[in-house]
Amino acid sequence: MDYTGRQQRLAQALDGLKLDALLVTHAVNVRYVCGFTGSNAVLVAGPRRCILLTDGRYAEQANAEAQNVRVVIARGALLPEAAKILKKQRTAAAGIEAEHMPVAQRSILRGLLPKKVRLRETTGVVEQLRMMKEAAEISNLRQSVLLGARLFDTALEAVRPGVREIGVAAELEYAARRLGAEAMAFDTIVAAGRRSALPHGRASAAPIPARGFVVLDWGVKLAGYCSDQTRTVHVGTPDSEMRGQYMAVREAQQAAMEAVRAGATAGDVDRAARQALQHSGLARYFTHSTGHGVGLEIHEAPRLGKGLHERLRAGMIVTIEPGVYVPGKGGVRIEDMLCVTETGCEVLTPTTRELITL
């Protein structure tokens, strides 16, 4: 990973924001900037160098993992140590990650600093850098996607009438660990029958019915990077309405995929999916955005939603996941991960998108 390059790009971002320093407190952002994976850290990022603060539990780990930074082991709370560094550096304007620092901590930090030091709330400074994936990141994401895809066969073997949704999730998650996953990327979704109309129907104790859709949405973490995949299968023979619903979602996903390319806006991609569903009369049942970025976190920028103007760039990794959810009947979602290219996209998920009946 190019930690030096990341720190240089962060310094450029701070210069553009007229900040002398940024307190990076979100653990994922700390990892992105310097490689440290501990759960207690503050990174004081400046124009010339970064200082990593952590506690004694992580002394050995920090010195082994953190790249191109000075490691300081604090004896007490980290914010007072961060304030000391800001004062020593004669910082005039320091940024905080507003969405990741609670109000109480901001108040504490404000009280630790001279009034002449300006504290400014920032949003998404590091997250903007994370949107563009380096070659090593794309490689890690490919491996995570491939590991996740291997779990589909496990899920198909586990899905049968009478088995509880949580039982299917358990089989899938156990197989993930056995194959080498660090963790699941999020709570596994298994939603069967009428429950498949719940977009985020996490696995419950409900049994799988003798007939109906089963939405399976899962992902793994490998080397810190997430995968995200959704497949919808049908238990029993689907009727023409169910087949039509599935094909409508598949066509919407294909339309969105064809809209993905460097220079297209997030809204362009979302519009393509919705227009396809308009033709089938199902657009009103599509209740969420078309996709999102994936990386060290399962949901990252850019979000592919209605009216959004973020332009896609080559090297971004996104999902395409339209869905249709008919209350009282059932739902369908199909999701794949893509790498944006200059002329289109590369689909990373290898699993079939044909309707599978069990």
**What is the number of H-type helices and E-type strands within the chain?**
11, 19
> Is residue 267 exposed (0-12), middle (13-18) or buried (19+ Cβ within 10 Å)?
middle
Fold held by 135-347 = Creatine Amidinohydrolase (3.90.230)
What pLDDT shows up at residue 260? 98
DSSP code of residue 284: G
Residue with tokens 């994922």: 28
CATH number for region 3-130: 3.40.350.10
Domain spans in the chain, listed from the N-terminal domain onward: 3-130, 135-347
Contacts of 323 (CB under 8 A, 6+ apart): 199, 230, 249, 286, 287, 288, 331, 332, 333, 334
Could you give the CA distance from residue 140 to residue 223 in angstroms, rounded to a whole number? Answer: 7
E strand or H helix at 184, and its extent? strand 183-184
CATH fold match for the domains 3-130 and 135-347? no
Mind listing the pLDDT tens digit for each residue in 94-122?
A: 999 999 999 999 999 999 999 999 999 99
**Contact yes or no for 305/290 (Cβ under 8 A):** yes
Q: Where are the beta strands (DSSP E) in 49-97?
A: 50-55, 70-74, 93-97
What pLDDT shows up at residue 85? 95
Query: Helix, strand or coil for residue 163?
Result: coil
Across all residues in the chain, what is the average pLDDT?
97
What pLDDT shows up at residue 48? 87
- The Cα-based distances of 44 to 19, 102, 108, 242 in angstroms read 12, 17, 16, 54
**Contact yes or no for 21/141 (Cβ under 8 A):** no
What pLDDT shows up at residue 237? 95
| Residue 282 in tokens | 């199902």
Residue with tokens 């001279």: 114
Tens-digit pLDDT string for the chain (358 aa): 999 999 999 999 999 999 999 999 999 999 999 999 999 999 999 988 999 999 999 999 999 999 999 999 999 999 999 999 999 999 999 999 999 999 999 999 999 999 999 999 999 999 999 999 999 999 999 999 999 999 999 999 999 999 999 999 999 999 999 999 999 999 999 999 999 999 999 999 999 999 999 999 999 999 999 999 999 999 999 999 999 999 999 999 999 999 999 999 999 999 999 999 999 999 999 999 999 999 999 999 999 999 999 999 999 999 999 999 999 999 999 999 999 999 999 999 999 999 999 9
Mind listing the pLDDT tens digit for each residue in 226-265?
A: 999 999 999 999 999 999 999 999 999 999 999 999 999 9
- Find, among 239, 249, 316, the residue nearest to 280 by Cα: 249
